[in-house]
């Protein structure tokens, strides 16, 4: 028994040292930069967690589109929707003044679009029009909040759609979560604790093939690594402060080791390039 206790104590000490080292490394990377960074890293084999400001709330921005997609695909699993269903689009829902690849590629004169196409545009390309169309059909943010709680996630709050979130600087702080909460959400997704196999694989493919955030986590990974992720980005306020430069993803390294990494950069007076480079450098810390 004493040997077991000694071994447990040794393992705990080693884990604490790794956490302290990680904290120092992230702090060193952020030193001299006028910003706040939150990080959560989960080893999906051992379950070990490392974090910096992991319990602090940060604005999600478009990271919340992952949660919306998961809720939409749950509706498919329940037989309420099918991926080939045509989802109605009301006049004005293809936004002319927010980021929308649907508008740029197809136009604004649409009365419907297939569910799988809307989810593709929302997740892979981070389309704001697709996001709000789906959120309306789901019944609004409250239904997504309920779903998040049902799958065992705490400390995540989604109150407004993209149109409202982008209307005033303060509105982005109504859609918030912590790095650890988002990391747990992605861990559960990786472990297939919610969504059927087909819906999991569909969403995974959209995240893996997303071209967004090429200079964030992806830039810090070795060649051959797989990244399934969702980014989020805010604008800047009148003082030039960026509210959110985010990346949250599941990483499979060439040797098969798998991790969840969430990096949120907020309240930054630095350039977009500096914010993104910080995320990439943190990704390089994965052992």
Nearest to 81, CA basis, from 33, 46, 118, 107: 118
Q: What is the mean pLDDT of residues 113-117?
A: 99
Query: For the segment 128-147, what is each residue's pLDDT rounded down to a tens digit?
Result: 999 999 999 999 999 999 99
The answer to whether residues 206 and 120 touch, using CB atoms and an 8 Å cutoff, is: yes
Q: Whole-angstrom Cα distance, residue 134 to residue 140?
A: 9
> Rounded to 10 degrees, what is the CA torsion of 163, 74, 218, 63?
30
**218 three-state secondary structure:** helix
CA distance 225 to 7: 34
Residue 35 DSSP code? S
Q: Give the whole-angstrom CA distance, residue 141 versus residue 158.
A: 6
Is pLDDT of 115 > 60?
yes
The pLDDT value recorded for residue 4 is: 55
Identified catalytic residue from 62, 100, 177, 210: 62
The H-assigned helical ranges of the chain are: 2-30, 64-77, 101-105, 115-123, 128-138, 141-150, 162-165, 179-190, 197-208, 272-283
Concatenated DSSP letters of 107-169: -S--SEEEHHHHHHHHHTS--HHHHHHHHHHHTSHHHHHHHHHHTT--S-EE---HHHHTTSG
Q: Which domains does the chain have, with CATH numbers?
A: 33-283 (3.40.710.10)
Residue 164 near residue 173, CB atoms below 8 Å: no
Is 196 in the active site? Answer: no
Half-sphere exposure of 277 (CA within 13 A, CB side): 8
Residues 37-87 have pLDDT tens digits of 999 999 999 999 999 999 999 999 999 999 999 999 999 999 999 999 999
Largest CA distance in the chain: 73
Query: What would the pLDDT profile of 175-220 be if each residue is shown by its tens digit?
Result: 999 999 999 999 999 999 999 999 999 999 999 999 999 999 999 9
Write the DSSP symbol of residue 242. B
175: left (phi over 0), alpha (psi -120 to 50) or beta: beta
Q: How confident is the model at residue 16 (pLDDT cuts 50, 70, 90)?
A: confident
């Amino acid at each position: 028994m004493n040997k077991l206790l000694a071994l447990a104590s040794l393992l705990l000490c080693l884990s604490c040292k790794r956490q302290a080292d990680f904290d120092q490394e992230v702090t060193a990377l952020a030193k001299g930069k006028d910003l706040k960074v939150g990080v959560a890293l989960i080893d999906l084999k051992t379950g070990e967690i490392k974090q910096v400001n992991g319990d602090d709330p940060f604005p999600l921005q478009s990271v919340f589109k992952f949660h919306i997609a998961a809720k939409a695909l749950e509706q498919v699993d329940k037989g309420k929707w099918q991926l080939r269903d045509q989802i109605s689009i009301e006049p004005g829902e293809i936004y002319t003044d927010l980021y929308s690849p649907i508008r740029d590629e197809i136009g604004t004169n649409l009365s419907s679009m297939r569910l799988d196409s809307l989810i593709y545009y929302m997740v892979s390309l981070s389309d704001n029009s697709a996001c709000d169309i789906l959120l309306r059909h789901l019944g609004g943010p409250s239904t997504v909040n309920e779903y998040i709680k049902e799958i065992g996630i705490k400390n995540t709050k989604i109150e407004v759609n993209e149109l409202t979130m982008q209307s005033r600087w303060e509105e982005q702080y109504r859609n918030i979560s912590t790095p650890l909460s988002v990391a747990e959400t992605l861990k559960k997704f990786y472990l297939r604790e919610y969504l059927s196999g087909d819906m999991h694989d569909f969403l995974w493919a959209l995240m893996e093939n997303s071209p967004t955030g090429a200079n964030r986590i992806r830039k810090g990974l070795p060649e051959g690594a797989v990244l399934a992720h969702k980014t989020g980005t805010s604008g800047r306020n009148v003082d030039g402060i960026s509210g959110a430069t985010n990346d949250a993803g599941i990483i499979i390294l060439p040797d098969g080791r798998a991790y969840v990494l969430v990096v949120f950069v907020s309240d930054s007076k630095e350039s977009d390039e500096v914010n993104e480079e910080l995320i990439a450098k943190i990704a390089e810390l994965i052992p």
